[in-house]
Structure 1
Amino acid sequence: MDRRGFVKNTGLLAMMFNLPIDKHRELFMKTIRVVNTGAEFEREKLNGPFGFKGAYLSELWQAVSKLKTASGESAIGLATQSILYADADLFVDNTETGGNALMFVLVNEALKLVKETPFQHPVELMEKIMPALQETAGRVTGKKDLNQNFIYNALVSIDNAAWLLYAKENGITSFDAMVPAPYRAALKHHNKQIAIMYQVPYDMPMSDLVNAMKEGYFVIKIKTGFPGSQEVMLARDMERLTQIHQTLKDYRTPHTGNGKLIYTMDANGRYEKKSLLLKYLDHAKKIGALDQVLVYEEPFVESNNEEVGDLGIRIAADESVHVVADAKKRIEQGYSALVLKGIAKTLSQSLKIAAFAQEHNIPCLCADLTVNPVLVEWHKNLAARIAPFPGIGMGLIETNGDLNYVNWEKMTGYQKLAGASWMQRKNGVFELSQDFYTTSGGIYDVPRHYEEMFSS
């Protein structure tokens, strides 16, 4: 009997004995052996300096990894390298090109480990190669205290390629079926709408923000943590909030119960002390903006362990959560939401965080890395399946590449399903039809543009 017949018959036995077929099937997943690898990258310019974490980006490298198995299957995965997000100190200590080059070297080092590591599913692969890659990353960068997010960012294209290989090797054609059984409860929803967090970076003109309101956006993500000393940062953050709130306070939306717009903030770990954030929140209350704040992402430096449960607003952990133990620690400190970043920390790691969050009734949102259009759909597959975010009643995702890339429209055109209704921004939301779930956002159709990078 061949393997296909064996799996078919064992599936029938599973039904006869009332066993969960999905879990039963996973017992017979193939062992995948990668025999050939490749990596390329493209440099994509931004429209202008893009500021967060107290610094600015001018371009983002798009890393592309290819894996080929012993059985002849191959897959290509994409990533957007964001050195400033991954390790701000390394970004400042190197040129922008130099930091990106270091991460791309690490991509190639990781690919060597993948060739030495058989696996049944990508979560297992990432767990197996991580210890050796951590050691290699310190050597490559010369940084003993390298942020773990730098390593995760370097793994995203490889992890995505591994998921596509896993699907091909096991005859899987949908995101729902691709998610391993231990993580499915966290991704059981099929949201019909996802609210788009419209990002307001340090230097965005208010005229651009007004135009966004006219287009129907209603969740406004304000980048805090201006460059400068802690005192300068706080003063500029408060000044900026006043400017934004004065511009937006009279706008209304049909998407909220009281008609008011929703604010979120993200300091990307710039605030050193809770006392400073309290001053910011007091200012928000004074100008009448605090009651519109839905969530504040990662306000503090990673080493800050102060309790946040008494701040009066929902605080979400992002950069400081590398593994489930970190998520547990932050929840114990009063954090009441988690940011999922499959496009920055790998889908494999995000599944673990999502499962932990679901088990502990902690809401999640999906924040951006200014990723390319293909990765927006990967991330949308997560945002579409997690529980609706409290206070808004739908999934919550940030995507700002359309505002920042010079070649956004060109990159969008690479996709085989470009123009699909669920790719369009409509009044501040993505409307997700059944077609989105059937096609899994097109992630299994890798654009020819990226395939051709390896044609030679």
Structure 2
Amino acid sequence: MRIVRADLEMQRQPFAKPFAFKGAAFHEKWNLIVRLTEQDGTEAVGVGGTAVLWSDPDVFSSHTEIGGNILMAALLEFALQQAVDREFVDPPALLAELVPQVHDYGKTVTRNRGLRLTFSLIALVALDNAAWMLHAKRQGITTFDHLIPVAYRPFLADRQFHLGLAPAVGYGMPVDELQAILETGVYILKIKIGQPGAEADMVRKDIEWLDRIHHVAAQYNSPMTDSGKVLYYLDANARYAKKETMARLLDHALKTGIHEHIVLIEEPFGDPGEFDVGDLPARFAADESVQTVEDVGTRADQGYGAIAVKPAGKTLSLAFRMVRAAAEAGVPSFVADNGCIPLLVEWNKNVAARLPGFPGIRGGLIESNGPENYGNWADLLAAYPIPDAPWLTPESGAFVLNEAYYRHSGGVFHDPVPYSRMFRTSS
């Protein structure tokens, strides 16, 4: 394939309330929309979103929120210019060529020689997504099953009919809001821990926070978990500096009965390379510390028991490779979300639906928190290509998938009209 033209648009999507984690908060998502044109005139549109705080807290803290988003968009603009007039076999090949150049450019424009690779990867999501759609059009591919490269199909061969939805429970969520979520039948809570403050204060506040949540959530049961209990997915977002501090949290959990609800703890340590977690009594998951395929094996060797893959956060191309690497390391993987719009949720869902069931859960697992983050979520769903599709809206705490879902691949091969119409006609 050869791209002869690349176009970029941007859409600011405000959150209903500040999205708090990593001891900070941000207030809006920027949707970055790419249109690629191939030499025969074929066009394809791809969408991605910014997540500066998640991908590199140092960049977030060194700039205004808008400034950080501008820098991420600048990396995408640079990548698009590098992609024009470039020949490539398939999207993974294009990504492999672009990532080193884009990351070096990112280090320059952020003035951060230690820039995390995740910052560059999420900047490339829209380009990678558009490249996959261009590839699909050229090959006559109309389903996600056929989009998956042959080398990765054995690792994405399951068909889940329930994807347990893990909505984010941010610091200080009011009790009545938590109860409202649980009343819908949610059976997995993604609980943000690692609150602001020094480590001793942080773990104290985290323990108090878990106690408050557990006091409410322990009253609910679910047939969709092996234990029959509502499960807790703790997301520490690399806020813990010491293994002993995490051990203190888990000791409290063991003493209070919270432990039997914990299905996993995601990304506890700022420098995970320092610690082996195999002797801690929990399943630990790696997320932003897994920046390369090689990192998957490294975390598995350190005792991590799960890998979060992010098609909408680290590109679909890399997600395929990480799913395979995790399976070969004997570690389950699951899909996590970055406050995604419906279109990106469906890309995530297509991967999550084809992974094996997650341990402790009767079905698959996906984090998605759009309704909690966006005040206009209903409008975003109404603009989706298949707005009335039953799989768009969770039911009793899960996305319920049927044969129609798999037949339509969730709708991701339809023209994403709200985004494609943002572009002027090619000239």
Q: Normalising by structure 2, what TM-score?
A: 0.98
Equivalent position to 1:357, from 326, 332, 344: 326
Distance (whole Å) between structure 2 residues aligned to residue 158 and residue 151 of structure 1:
12
**Is residue 76 of structure 2 the alignment partner of residue 124 of structure 1?**
no
Distance (whole Å) between structure 2 residues aligned to residue 232 and residue 156 of structure 1:
37
Distance (whole Å) between structure 2 residues aligned to residue 80 and residue 49 of structure 1:
17
Aligned residue runs from structure 1 range 6-405, under 5 A: 32-405=1-374
Query: For the Cα contact (< 8 Å) 1:305–1:333, is it kept in 2?
Result: no
Distance (whole Å) between structure 2 residues aligned to residue 302 and residue 177 of structure 1:
38
Q: Write the deviation string for residues 12-35 of structure 1: whole angstroms up to 9, x where unpaired.
A: xxxxxxxxxxxxxxxxxxxx1000
**Is residue 416 of structure 2 the alignment partner of residue 418 of structure 1?**
no
Query: For the Cα contact (< 8 Å) 1:225–1:268, is it kept in 2?
Result: yes
Q: Aligned pair in 2 of structure 1 residues 335, 258: CA closer, same or farther (>3 Å)?
A: closer
Structure 1 unaligned residues grouped into runs of 5+: 1-31
How far residue 258 of structure 1 moved from its aligned partner, in angstroms, is: 3.4
Query: For the Cα contact (< 8 Å) 1:302–1:319, is it kept in 2?
Result: no
How far residue 446 of structure 1 moved from its aligned partner, in angstroms, is: 2.8
How far residue 394 of structure 1 moved from its aligned partner, in angstroms, is: 0.9
SS in structure 1 of the partner of residue 124 of structure 2: helix
How far residue 121 of structure 1 moved from its aligned partner, in angstroms, is: 1.1
SS in structure 2 of the partner of residue 72 of structure 1: coil
**Is residue 407 of structure 2 the alignment partner of residue 438 of structure 1?**
yes
How far residue 195 of structure 1 moved from its aligned partner, in angstroms, is: 0.6
How far residue 409 of structure 1 moved from its aligned partner, in angstroms, is: 1.6
Query: For the Cα contact (< 8 Å) 1:234–1:276, is it kept in 2?
Result: yes
Distance (whole Å) between structure 2 residues aligned to residue 119 and residue 150 of structure 1:
23
Detail structure 1 runs of 4+ shifted over 4 Å in the superposition: none
Q: Which residue of 2 aligns with 1:18?
A: none
Structure 2 unaligned residues grouped into runs of 5+: none
How far residue 302 of structure 1 moved from its aligned partner, in angstroms, is: 3.2
Distance (whole Å) between structure 2 residues aligned to residue 450 and residue 172 of structure 1:
21
Paired residue type of 1:349: L
Q: Aligned pair in 2 of structure 1 residues 303, 395: CA closer, same or farther (>3 Å)?
A: closer
How far residue 116 of structure 1 moved from its aligned partner, in angstroms, is: 3.8
Distance (whole Å) between structure 2 residues aligned to residue 355 and residue 311 of structure 1:
26
Distance (whole Å) between structure 2 residues aligned to residue 139 and residue 162 of structure 1:
26
SS in structure 1 of the partner of residue 29 of structure 2: strand
Distance (whole Å) between structure 2 residues aligned to residue 179 and residue 304 of structure 1:
32
Distance (whole Å) between structure 2 residues aligned to residue 183 and residue 442 of structure 1:
22
Distance (whole Å) between structure 2 residues aligned to residue 147 and residue 377 of structure 1:
26
SS in structure 1 of the partner of residue 298 of structure 2: helix
Count of residues in Structure 1 that have an aligned counterpart in Structure 2:
425
How far residue 393 of structure 1 moved from its aligned partner, in angstroms, is: 2.7
Larger radius of gyration: 1
Query: For the Cα contact (< 8 Å) 1:252–1:260, is it kept in 2?
Result: yes
Paired residue type of 1:441: G
Distance (whole Å) between structure 2 residues aligned to residue 186 and residue 306 of structure 1:
29
Distance (whole Å) between structure 1 residues aligned to residue 83 and residue 356 of structure 2:
33
Distance (whole Å) between structure 2 residues aligned to residue 400 and residue 319 of structure 1:
18
SS in structure 2 of the partner of residue 138 of structure 1: helix
Distance (whole Å) between structure 2 residues aligned to residue 435 and residue 119 of structure 1:
33
Distance (whole Å) between structure 1 residues aligned to residue 271 and residue 323 of structure 2:
20
Query: For the Cα contact (< 8 Å) 1:415–1:446, is it kept in 2?
Result: no
SS in structure 1 of the partner of residue 281 of structure 2: coil
How far residue 304 of structure 1 moved from its aligned partner, in angstroms, is: 4.0
